[in-house]
Amino acid sequence: MSYTPNTSYSRTASHTSYSHKVLDSRPQFAIASLSLGNNANHDLPTKIRVASSLGYDGIEIFIPDFEAFGEEVREGKHSELFTSTPSTPSTPSTSWSLPSSSCPPYNLANLTSLSQPDLELACAHAISTYCASHNLFIPILQPYRNFENFRTQEDLCKALDGAERWFRIMPTLQCDLMLVCSNHIPGPYPLTAREYTFEMYCDAQVEAFKQLGERAARYNVRVGYEPLSWGTVIDNWMQVWEIVKRVDKENVGVILDSFNTL
């Protein structure tokens, strides 16, 4: 995916948007870590090195790759990526201007015994630093799945809490955009089961994304809604655009993917 420098990405042209500036005027190109092999055989640091060696400017972090990295660190692997005293990761010259980072105190002796939230922050710091050392920026964390088809407010709250888990590490990861995708929903299909009309389903998504945007704003990060062509209910950009327009938040927008459009 390419990222055009000095360009504003906004929900509508009339809204003030987040601007990301780089030092040169050429487009910035990133590759998804998912595209560099299955994490069962290729760990995230390896993918970062490969992306850098291939000349990419950035790498999109696939959430399962990050989770696998955390599990490996918990097992005592990748200790070379951690230092006894965390420091703020340097920002490569090609990167965007991003939120300031923070990370928990840790050292090599207690790294494997950290709580899960603190381990994820430590891993985010290590990955951000490692990317910077390889001249890569992180434009996006993706994908956050199953953010739809909420039957109860409790279901929505659980999904919001799940998203906040990632919002919390994004400033440390030096990344300000999370991709939220539509999904294949296992039966019973919510519309044919006559639980909702399509209009009711979209109304629920609008309210859910309003709350998601509010959570994201606490961390100064953005949310992009991407329609997957195999989504059970939401499966094209026009549907997503109508939802995002109604959400009407500066930090909630649309992500277009030609793979799901063409």
pLDDT (tens digit per residue) in 98-121: 445 556 556 666 788 889 999 999
The three-point CA angle 194-199-205 to 5° equals: 100
**Residue that has been written with the tokens 């965007």 in this structure:** 96
Cα separation, 65 vs 63, whole angstroms: 5
Who contacts 261 (Cβ-Cβ below 8 Å, separation ≥6)? 229, 236, 237
Write the DSSP assignment of 171-231 as a string of letters: HHHT--EEEEE----PSSPTTTTTS--HHHHHHHHHHHHHHHHHHHHTTT-EEEEE--TT-
pTM of the model: 0.83
Cα 201 to the center of its chain, rounded Å: 24
Q: Give 124-178 pLDDT, tens digit per residue.
A: 999 999 999 999 999 999 999 999 999 899 999 999 999 999 999 999 999 999 9
- The CA distances from residue 120 to 86, 138, 144, 222, in Å, are 14, 16, 16, 20
Cis peptide before 171 (omega within 30 of 0): no
Topology given in CATH for the domain delimited by 146-262: TIM Barrel (3.20.20)
The pair phi, psi for residue 219, each rounded to 5°, is -110, 5
What are the domain boundaries of the chain?
1-139, 146-262
The pair phi, psi for residue 165, each rounded to 5°, is -55, -40
| Mean pLDDT computed over every residue of the chain | 84
**Residue that has been written with the tokens 């809204």 in this structure:** 15
Q: Give 38-60 pLDDT, tens digit per residue.
A: 888 899 999 999 999 999 999 99
